Structure 1
Amino acid sequence: MKENIDLFTNLLEKKYGVWNRNKALFGTTPYGKVASDLSISSSQFSKLLYGTATEGMYERTLNNINRLIERQSIEKAYEETQLVINKSKTAYRKRIYFFSILFLGIGLITSYLFDFNHFAFKLSDYEKHPLKSYFYPESSMFFDSPFIYNNAISENCPCSGFEGKWKLSESFKLPLPGMKKPGLYYQAKSADMIIRCSNLFDSYIDKGHGMMGYEHLKSEIWIDTKQEPLVPQYFNPSSKVFTESFKQLNFESDPRFKKIADLAAFNVNMFKIHGDSITRNAELTGRLAIDVNKKLAKKYNIDIGYIVKNVLGDLIKASCKTTFNPFCNPNDLSEGISKISFDCVYTINEENLGLNEGYPYTKSYLFKDQVFSDYLPCECEDN
């Protein structure tokens, strides 16, 4: 328990500053504000601080602090970049302004020449991973790879074996709250994820055990035009599981279901390898609804903006269990065969909007393209 308390307070000091016990502050931040940032109550914060919290509470809260630290680092890097740009010479600024105006004009002309529907189709036809060129460029002549170099493979065991392209193994669907009638559904169709080892977590995760996954996710929103109730036909509220009828639903082939919108999203995943187990945490970078059927949305009184921001916005906060790692020895990984699955529960903050403690779903990733597929000098480690 003392180890949990020390890790908890050390991470808080890293985020906020030195712990002042007498004034109940971390740096200049009072306990109440810290608890609010972590989305927990003051009583829960006290339990974590003084060692009366459960292991699960520590695990969830430590993950939240790590995400805050990661976000702070990204924001700091962005601010420093903006500072450099703002200090550029006036001549360069004028040149930038000139070309900005020029390209804006070209954009307006292009928009005039090509109708909106054509433009929307191009957005929905977005197939490439947004960061593909940074990991898999057409030419490597002037390229610094973000993947582990060959001479550092062994010191980055076991994560060096996981580097490469992963994809969503199976599509999954979920009911969506957010309107007063049933029948709205989310369907994850495909995902392309690039995983690389990361040293961002070396302060609290052993080297070679932390990974970042950059995920481009494509999904859809569907409406059941008959708006049949979810319970009891599709969901058992007692056992908290979906029925076989729900699993057999096929939105594309059943004429009573109509697609309202396509969705494109980008997630940043953090994976931690603990021998024969893996934990996953994720944060949404952005989500865009495209090809929205406005007539259908209006007919069924569906606010797509609200759904994207407030309902789907919380999907990334889903609680996922630590999963078994069948590739404790990364040499067991194989392209097109190896799969990692995470059992999760989807909830909506404290309101929950009728979710009855949440809906279960499984998100599985299949290894598509391994960066280093030769023998790795890695061995299976105990937890």
Structure 2
Amino acid sequence: MNNQNELHRTFISRLEIRYGKFNSENNRFASTSNSKIARDLFYSDSQFSRLINNTASEGELVRAVDNIQRLLEVHTLEKEVEKYKSTQYRKRPGKIWWIVLVFLMILTGILGYLLLTSGEKGPAAAGTDHSRYEMLKWSFENNYIRPYITLKELPDDCYFPCYKYQGKWTLKKEYKIPFFRERNGFHYVAKQAVMYATCGDKNATNGEKFEGYEYQKHEIWYDKREFPIDSFLVKGSLSEVRPSYNKAALEDNSNFVKVAYVHTFFKTEFEIDSLDIQRTGKTIGRDIELIDDGELMEKLSSAKLMEELKSEVNAIARNRLEDFSKPIKCNPIRAPKEDFNMIEEGDRLSFDCQFSTGRFLVNYNKVYVLDDQYINNYCR
């Protein structure tokens, strides 16, 4: 207990560096609300409350101390970037870009770290009311970092196909995958994806490759009827899901109960070969967030069933979701336009891929839409 108390004091003292003096009588900080601090540290309000009240586990406190230390390091780097940007950019351009590169790597590492450490100890507590992709968004939508290739950096002949693919892409439509497990009834629903695509290092390729850093929000649902997986596949097929299943709104069917959210940080690589585009990539980090017990009990028949489902979700997180950590398998696609210079907002990348679940390879179609293109003009 002494070690835990020491960890708690360390946690509070580091928070005070960033958020002002801590009032132990009302468990508040001088300059910032507890909810805002919780969002900064990627915690729910209830998780953060346990930490500052010293009712969290020792392991939670260890990770919390590490998290606030990383936040302080990011804040320090922000100041360094601002200083060099305002006073030394013209004199020492190499220095500012070195700092920016390190900063971006640290931010990406923090996001992966938060997702991975959450997953190591099992599903996170439900109730997270903020977007898990804010750190990724900040890395690409701020005044400090410009991770894109600009028009001025393109070669004289303008042959650098990836430059028009740079920007923000989102998931066009959800897709569903039934799990094959010892117990039937589990389904994986892809609800949201936000990907930032960049050419990366212009000296590393001839513009025929680009990479995407992607946040994905998925859901795990349970079918109370526990229909087997082939009930949702086209008759006679071991891989093709029925169109009616993919179009169905599970939230409108009382037989289906949402049991968890899955937050994933994903890195994708795209390679342009003439008019074809190949997609590969894999998961960097993942966080499973269980639905609140009270909400689950309203839709389930017993507490015993609820505990069984939570146990199954843990098993899915440990085993089946490992399949998503393997390099993805997708068929090559045709580029949206024959002339890459004409790629524009609203264009789509539609990939037919396969997910391995037990002895089944389930097909799914993932469609990205270019929502916010970094370079609207084309190279001349």
Same-fold status (TM-score > 0.5): yes
Alpha-carbon RMSD across the aligned residues, in angstroms, is 3.2
Task: State the distance in 2 between where 1:334 and 1:308 align.
Answer: 38
SS of aligned partner of 1:307: helix
Aligned to 1:326: 336
Aligned to 1:182: 184
Name the amino acid aligned to 1:103.
Answer: R
Gap change, CA 1:301 and 1:368, over 3 Å in 2: closer
Gap change, CA 1:316 and 1:278, over 3 Å in 2: farther
Q: Of 162, 166, 174, which residue of structure 2 is paired with 1:159?
A: 162
Task: State the distance in 2 between where 1:127 and 1:145 align.
Answer: 21
Task: State the distance in 2 between where 1:162 and 1:107 align.
Answer: 50
The structural deviation recorded for 1:118 is 8.7
> What percentage of residue pairs aligned between the two structures are identical?
25
Deviation track 1:326-378 (CA, whole Å, cap 9, x = no partner) reads 2342232221x200011111115xxxx232xx01001110000001001224x
The structural deviation recorded for 1:107 is 12
TM-score (normalizing by structure 2): 0.62
1:224-303 aligned within 5 A: 224-232=223-231, 234-238=233-237, 240-293=239-292, 297-300=306-309, 302-303=311-312
Name the amino acid aligned to 1:315.
Answer: F
Task: State the distance in 2 between where 1:246 and 1:302 align.
Answer: 26
TM-score (normalizing by structure 1): 0.61
Aligned to 1:307: 316
Aligned to 2:146: 145
Gap change, CA 1:235 and 1:373, over 3 Å in 2: same
Report which stretch shifted further, 283-292 or 213-222: 283-292
Check the 8 A contact 2:175/2:189 in 1, yes or no: yes
Aligned to 2:75: none
Name the amino acid aligned to 1:115.
Answer: S
Aligned to 1:342: 351
Choose between structure 1 and 2 for higher RCO, CA contacts under 8 A separated by at least 6 residues: 2
Task: State the distance in 2 between where 1:253 and 1:201 align.
Answer: 51
Structure 1 unaligned residues grouped into runs of 5+: 1-96, 378-383
SS of aligned partner of 2:128: helix
Aligned to 1:50: none
Check the 8 A contact 1:165/1:192 in 2, yes or no: yes
Structure 2 unaligned residues grouped into runs of 5+: 1-7, 17-21, 28-33, 39-43, 51-124, 294-302
SS of aligned partner of 1:211: strand
Task: State the distance in 2 between where 1:252 and 1:107 align.
Answer: 44
1:100-115 aligned within 5 A: 102-103=13-14, 109=27, 115=46
Name the amino acid aligned to 1:323.
Answer: I
Gap change, CA 1:281 and 1:148, over 3 Å in 2: same
The structural deviation recorded for 1:238 is 3.4
